[in-house]
Structure 1
Amino acid sequence: MGLRQGGLKLNIPYVVADKDRHGNVRLYYWRKGRPKIRLRAEPGSVAFATELEAAKTASDAAAPKSAREIAPASFRALCLDYFASANFRMLDKKTQRQNRLILEDVSRSKTPKAGQERGTLPYALIEPRHVEEIRDEKLELPGAANNRVKALRRLFKWAQSAKKPGARNPAAEVAYLKMPGDGFETWTASHIERFEETHPVGSQARLCLALLLYTGVRRSDVVKLGPQHEREGWLHFTETKGSRKAGAIPKKRDIPIIEPLRQVLDASQAIIGPFAYLVTERGVPFTANGFGNKFQDWVKAAGLPVGLAAHGLRKAAATHAADNGATDRQLMALFGWETEKEANRYTKRANRKKLAGHAAPLLGFKR
């Protein structure tokens, strides 16, 4: 990478520059997955060349072991084979990264009794009770615990399809932990009102609220929506979720721009970017993570509970539509769901609410 050290421009592979808290520039030799090694000599000098060569040697020594150095029937070897498989590479990049991190974490974890790294154990001897142990190590974080089970199910399902010796799927017999509540908190009418009182029409926060509430899109899509997606009063775009998966068929979405959203868009022209409605101070579209951080700033400014997320507005939109009589099929079209399962959660809840309202007067006793 290109660096400058004094008046000398450096272009040395794996040499990176960091600043300490005093603003001093320090050079390091660094390769992903290995420790940083400090380089102290003057760049361009013989001493620097010697130091760099020693750093390369030390870095290679600290590199993760190759599959050939790992027992072929071990859990770690199975994971490495899986990471190299077409099945794994067909997952979208985000899912690949998440599954790799989880399985590497499980591989490094140790058994409770013998204290042995699980990666060294024969994968064919892993039983459902062992998967339960792995799951329950994250008991205080049910979502993370369930993600461990999910990643293991994927791994062992692939192992079976690849006809690995002795492969079976012990994770398939392990239940997910019951999640407290219903995932992301659904925004209430009072939450929305409080947010709108703090962030008036014309502000970026209010524009964001309107986009999420009146389209029901996910965070990954709201950061990409822009004027170029508008045609004849509709938003036409390709959904981000699942689109990066190899072989995936892009999911086209068409959402009408209803009047409340149109009014906010028209009042926000001064802050809208040319290719994205929501842009950073530098005038570029937000990343999904950067948007999430900014959204939390707006939530805090409104005095709302920390953690009230953008996805909660998607749930609020679905709840409001169901309460107003939207059918399962209508919700599926609006929110991009492929099956009725997700839509049915909202319509059943709305129907129960209506039935309870009709039934409540029947509780009165005649005297």
Structure 2
Amino acid sequence: MANLPYVKEYTDDCGIRRRYFRRKGFKGGPLPGPIGSPEFLEAYQAFMGGKPAPLAKGANGPGTFGGLIADYYRSVEYANLKPNSKTLYRYALEPLKEKHGHRPLSTMSRENLVRIIETIGARAPGMANLTRAVLQKMLKVAVARGQIRINPLADKVEAYKIGTHHTWTDSELAQFEARWPLGTRQRLAYALLFYTGQRGGDVVRMTRGDISEGRIKVVQEKTGTELKIKIHPDLARAIKAGPAKGLNLIGDEHGRPIKRAALSHLMRVAIRDAGLPARCVPHGLRKAMLRTMAEGGASAKRLAAVSGHKTTKELDRYTAAADQQTLADDGIASIPSRK
């Protein structure tokens, strides 16, 4: 039994040995119970026949952690989230549902939940912070609905300290442009990210129909903010020279719409091929645009009009840095020569 084909084993975050059916071209999933047990064999035979396995008794049902997650997806609180937030929440909760959905709620203590978060944090601190935040909100809703008595994560759980995205330098921008000339998808993607200052999720939704009177209309997915951004001459040249297939300004090789992940992959490969360091990531182009505007004398309010920030607190850092450099240059220039 131990050598059954297509059975993959792993140890979960709580030290429990688990088994999955994995076969190319076939539906896969968890194999419940010990190897050779009736429930294991029933699921295995179902998967081998190309059918979904019968739901294990109690799995993701009432009183389980998976059931709580499923109930949260049906809640008003979840329904009121913006589409982008819903995607992020599922990105955090679905792996937990798969690994721990069968567990009774009574076993999901603070100690166990913190251990799960820390296990994720060991390999991906940013994902651990997202998981922590989503769990806290979901459990708060569960308490309010009377599904659990107390929120095990109500007391503070420390977040991981993670760095901010690197702001591309002028030399790094020039290096990318030298590697990817006008007319390439890579240069078009770069130009859309840099000259509009928008997030990747908003860039992939830009269409030719969004262009009017020399501006691109954007409704930000994250904030819902509506912007009309003037098309910079360099961006106009990139759009004119770039691939013209499809309605979207940036699509796949055939002009079909792409998701944010596909844009990120396109840029990661292009950045690597341009010989740029790993610190150069697509989101850093948004920051580079803000830096460039601030160095050109734009106020924080003008930066916000392009970036869509609701407040200027974060943007004040860009203008302060630009002002410091300008004032320092003027100050040094005011010192008379002693020769």
8 Å Cα contact 1:102/1:148 also seen in 2: no
Q: CA deviation at 1:335?
A: 0.7
Q: What's the counterpart of residue 232 of structure 2?
A: 258
Structure 1: which 5+ runs fail to align? 1-17, 21-25, 36-50, 109-116, 243-249
Match of 2:132 in 1: 149
User: Quick one: structure 1 residues 352 and 149, their matched pair in 2 at CA, closer, same or farther if it must change by over 3 Å?
Assistant: farther
- 2:117 matched residue in structure 1: 135
TM-score norm. by structure 2 comes to 0.73
Match of residue 11 from structure 1: none
Partner of 2:157: 174
Secondary structure (helix, strand or coil) at the match of 1:341 reads coil
- How big is the shift at 1:169? 6.0
Match of 2:160, SS?
coil
Pick closer, same or farther for the CA change 1:52–1:78 going to 2, 3 Å.
closer
| Structure 2: runs of 5+ lacking an equivalent | 1-21, 32-44
What is the letter of the counterpart of residue 201 of structure 1?
A: L
Asked whether 1:120 is paired with 2:104, we answer yes
Partner SS, residue 288 of structure 2: helix
Tell me how many residue pairs correspond in the alignment: 299
1:285-304 pair list within 5 angstroms = 285-304=257-276
In 1, the alpha carbon distance for the partners of 2:58 and 2:292 equals 51
Cα shift at 1:299: 1.5
| TM-score (norm: length of structure 1) | 0.68
Of 346, 351, 355, the match for 2:318: 346
Residues 326-341 of structure 1: pairs in structure 2 closer than 5 A: 326-341=298-313
The alpha-carbon distance between structure 1 residues 82 and 266, as it changes in their structure 2 partners (threshold 3 A), is closer
The 3-state SS of whatever aligns with 2:54 is helix
Q: CA separation of 1:240/1:66 partners in 2, compared to 1, >3 Å: closer, same or farther?
A: closer
Deviation, 1:331, is 1.6
Q: Is the CA contact 2:193–2:285 (under 8 Å) kept in the aligned structure 1?
A: yes
How far off is 1:218 after superposition? Answer: 1.3
| Greater displacement, 201-210 / 349-358 | 349-358
The structural deviation recorded for 1:57 is: 8.4
Deviation at 1:97, TM superposition (A): 1.8
Offset at residue 306 of structure 1 (A): 4.0
Counterpart residue number, 1:40? none
Aligned partner of 1:10 in structure 2 is: none
User: Which residue in 1 is equivalent to 2:13?
Assistant: none
DSSP-derived class of the 1:122 partner: helix
Amino acid at match of 1:99: A
Counterpart of 1:90 in structure 2 is 80
The equivalences for 1:196-235 within 5 A come to 196-235=177-216
Letter in 2 for 1:344: D
The answer to whether structure 1 residue 60 and structure 2 residue 54 are counterparts is yes
- Paired AA for residue 230 in structure 2: P
1:46 corresponds to: none
Structure 1 position 167, deviation (Å): 2.3
Structure 1 pair 122–318 and aligned structure 2 pair: CA distance change class (3 A): same
SS of the residue aligned with 1:177? coil
Identity of aligned residues (%): 26
Distance across 2 between alignment mates of 1:142 and 1:260: 37
Q: Does structure 2 retain, via aligned residues, the 8 Å contact 1:134–1:148?
A: no
Tell me which amino acid in the other structure corresponds to 1:309.
V
